[in-house]
Structure 1
Amino acid sequence: MESTPHPMIIDSHIHLWREEDIPTFGWLTPQNPVYGSAYDVPKYLKCISGVPSSYSGFVFVEVDRKYENPKDPSEDLECWKWVLEEYRYVLGLSKNPEYGHLVRGIVQWAPVHLGRDAMERYQKCLEAVDKEIYGDEDHGLLVGYRFLIQDKPQGTITPPHFREGLEFIRDTGKTFDVGVDCNRHTLWQIEEAVPVLKSVEGLKIVINHLSKPPLGREPEGGIERWKELMAELAETQAAVKLSGGFSEVPPTLAGHGDIFPEPKMIDMVLDYARPLFQIFGADRVIFGSDWPMCGIGYERVMGRGAQSGSWPEWYRICTAVIKQLQEEEGISGGPEDWDGVWGRNALHVYNIRTQ
């Protein structure tokens, strides 16, 4: 993609699965463009084949497998079998002699909504998988947890049990990835989440996909209110992922391939990336692709079968966005912070071990 030296790249948000895993996803239907196929490391590497040589790996983020809420501890393994299998699968990938070194971190599903006791029991289940794959070796790959809010009803994050789960995460030193949707669900999800997240002092937070804003238009509730909520989160130990933009492309642009690569898509991303860079500073923004989900919105615009081009296109868009914002005033951060957006900031945010 480039002949000039590039800062270290870590893709901070990808998903992986085998074909046999598909029945364990409640959300993946035959109508979904990524249905019916494996999205594994070899396919991912093929999609990013033109990436600069400074590419240094990825952070795997859980794929929202099916789960149930145990009624008592004796049901844990059965209720959580699919999320534990996901952890086993990705941890096993890290042992692959060809590409295992590219697995830099794992953000695993966790029963945050069930409170501290469930989190402690779940942690023991994860440790059993660690033992199975790594023996007594401390791999350090489990860097965070996620429990999606974007598809849950109102009131999911507000009960005391959820706060207890977040406190457990805080006490482990891991991150909590925040998955909200400010596009399809207006601002109520982030409005509910902000006071709860702020109440857990010391919690490390990562906001996924720029908060999934409605590209090309203002969120219902207004962009100024959205900025206020983001500014409140910036008072915590929060970082933001520059990721997931294609999924938020307005449906009215379906079939309009002329929005890629420039300038329309870049301008739509800038409308939300600019205030987030201004609020958080360059040192608290990290690059991610959301592969292969990034291909869904891309295919909607470019046509079915175009999925493989989504990663390179998102890379080009992020390059243009970062270049534009770096030239503007009002954003804190030195050259090392701007370079760090591509990868080094992720090392700090997720406490990823250096190689």
Structure 2
Amino acid sequence: MASHPLIIDTHIHLWRTKDIPTLAWETPENPLFGTYDLPRYLKCISSAPSTYSGFVFVETDRKFSDPQDPSEDRERWQHVLEEYRFVLGLSKEPEFKGLVRGIVPWAPVHLGRGAMERYQKLLDAIDEEIYGEEKHGLLVGFRYLIQDKPEGTTSLPTFLEGLEYIRDTGRTFDVGVDCNRHTLWQIEEAVPVLKQVKGLKIVLNHLSKPPLGREPEGGIARWKELMTELAETQSVVKLSGGFSEIPPTLAKEGNEFPEQKMISMVLDYARPLFQIFGASRIIFGSDWPVCGVGYEKVMGEQAGAWPEWFKISSAVIKQLREEGGVKGEPEDWDGVWGKNAIGAYNLKPQ
């Protein structure tokens, strides 16, 4: 049996018990209330093929506030800075050697170039604290979630400045929108701005969070138009996040997860995205541990979410490859699992 292609999980979140009060969304009622650290993640992916080769950490929406003066930066951004310190520190621990392939922290993109430059200096200080003079190359991009922000956020002149700063550093911008709960307005607002920043490397999270099992408000045709516009930029799409968009009607079949129904729903959106972007511009991600929330609603427990999403992603890739109609060489299809991400995020080889 041929070995599986290289695997890099391009979207995971981690936090320790002491970090819980700093998470903007965390409450005792939240299904993810608890500790989701690296040992727990590694236990969940124990069934992964031997070609698994680490992950990209993406910021977890820590609490922050906007400084009124640069002297307030460190205090207002203390939780996001501590998150970066935490994950960068993991990369130095011998037992986790090589697992942290990239870090995508929060950044004050909405505040413009000046704020981004000041923030970068604070990150540089953490780099020196943990790595000294060594250049680790793990800071590969930035994310500022759009999905929970008011209309007009991405249209601010300062937001454009922030994106231009990211472009100038050669790093990526992870786009987090929600086409399920918020219709299409977020991506409609963001795409023209993203297109203005020529050369910006863009990673669209979670297939744009489409409403699986139905059309988005605004229509699938309009959604495809927006994805086609986005494809005119230097962008890739994460095959991730599907379990968060499961419709409430999806139920387990006997004691099993309804794989075929889930595969069909994911294909409704993955198929046009593969056709629009091509296989070389799709990358795999699990969205752990968030993937466990939707899975738990169907199965009654979070355990098993990572391997189940891996199986569904495998089936989706296999079917689209067999159907034809998607641009891509064999190495591009294999690269969905890991090698495409190396280029998208400029990850250091191992």
Same fold, TM-score > 0.5, yes or no: yes
Q: Equivalent residue for 1:242? A: 239
Q: Equivalent residue for 1:145? A: 142
TM-fit CA distance, 1:26: 1.6
> Alpha-carbon deviations, 1:110-148, whole Å to 9, x = none?
000000000000000000000000001000000000000
Q: Equivalent residue for 1:189? A: 186
* 8 A Cα contact 1:261 1:316, kept in partner: no
TM-fit CA distance, 1:260: 2.2
Are 1:322 and 2:320 matched, yes or no? no
Are 1:68 and 2:65 matched, yes or no? yes
The secondary structure found in structure 1 opposite 2:11 is: strand
Matches of residues 1-355 of structure 1 in structure 2 within 5 Å?
4-35=2-33, 37-253=34-250, 260-303=257-300, 306-355=301-350
TM-fit CA distance, 1:262: 2.1
**1: CA distance between counterparts of 2:258 and 2:335?**
24
TM-fit CA distance, 1:41: 1.0
**1: CA distance between counterparts of 2:232 and 2:133?**
38
TM-fit CA distance, 1:8: 0.1
> Alpha-carbon deviations, 1:245-302, whole Å to 9, x = none?
0000012336667772421000000000000000000000000000000000000111
The secondary structure found in structure 2 opposite 1:239 is: strand
* 8 A Cα contact 1:257 1:302, kept in partner: no
What TM-score comes out, normalization by structure 1 length?
0.97
**2: CA distance between counterparts of 1:290 and 1:217?**
22
> Alpha-carbon deviations, 1:165-204, whole Å to 9, x = none?
0000000000000000000000000000000000111100
* 8 A Cα contact 2:280 2:336, kept in partner: yes
- Return the letter of the residue paired with 1:63: T
**1: CA distance between counterparts of 2:173 and 2:253?**
36
- Return the letter of the residue paired with 1:132: E
**2: CA distance between counterparts of 1:26 and 1:226?**
29
- Return the letter of the residue paired with 2:146: I
* 8 A Cα contact 1:256 1:302, kept in partner: no
**2: CA distance between counterparts of 1:39 and 1:122?**
26
> Alpha-carbon deviations, 1:219-257, whole Å to 9, x = none?
000001000000000000000000000000012336667
> Alpha-carbon deviations, 1:321-351, whole Å to 9, x = none?
0000001121000100000000000000000
The 1:323/1:207 distance shift into structure 2, 3 A limit, reads same
**2: CA distance between counterparts of 1:256 and 1:146?**
37
**2: CA distance between counterparts of 1:298 and 1:199?**
38
**1: CA distance between counterparts of 2:66 and 2:295?**
35
* 8 A Cα contact 2:251 2:258, kept in partner: no
- Structure 1 unaligned regions, length at least 5: none
**2: CA distance between counterparts of 1:178 and 1:89?**
23
**1: CA distance between counterparts of 2:268 and 2:256?**
15
The 1:4/1:307 distance shift into structure 2, 3 A limit, reads farther
The secondary structure found in structure 2 opposite 1:206 is: strand
- Return the letter of the residue paired with 2:89: G
- Return the letter of the residue paired with 2:167: R
* 8 A Cα contact 1:269 1:321, kept in partner: yes
**1: CA distance between counterparts of 2:88 and 2:337?**
24
* 8 A Cα contact 2:184 2:223, kept in partner: yes
The secondary structure found in structure 2 opposite 1:251 is: coil
**1: CA distance between counterparts of 2:239 and 2:55?**
14
Moved over 3 A (4+): 254-259
* 8 A Cα contact 1:261 1:313, kept in partner: no
The 1:254/1:152 distance shift into structure 2, 3 A limit, reads farther
**2: CA distance between counterparts of 1:73 and 1:123?**
13
**2: CA distance between counterparts of 1:342 and 1:239?**
13
TM-fit CA distance, 1:30: 1.4
* 8 A Cα contact 1:213 1:272, kept in partner: yes
Identity %: 74
**1: CA distance between counterparts of 2:295 and 2:100?**
25
- Structure 2 unaligned regions, length at least 5: none
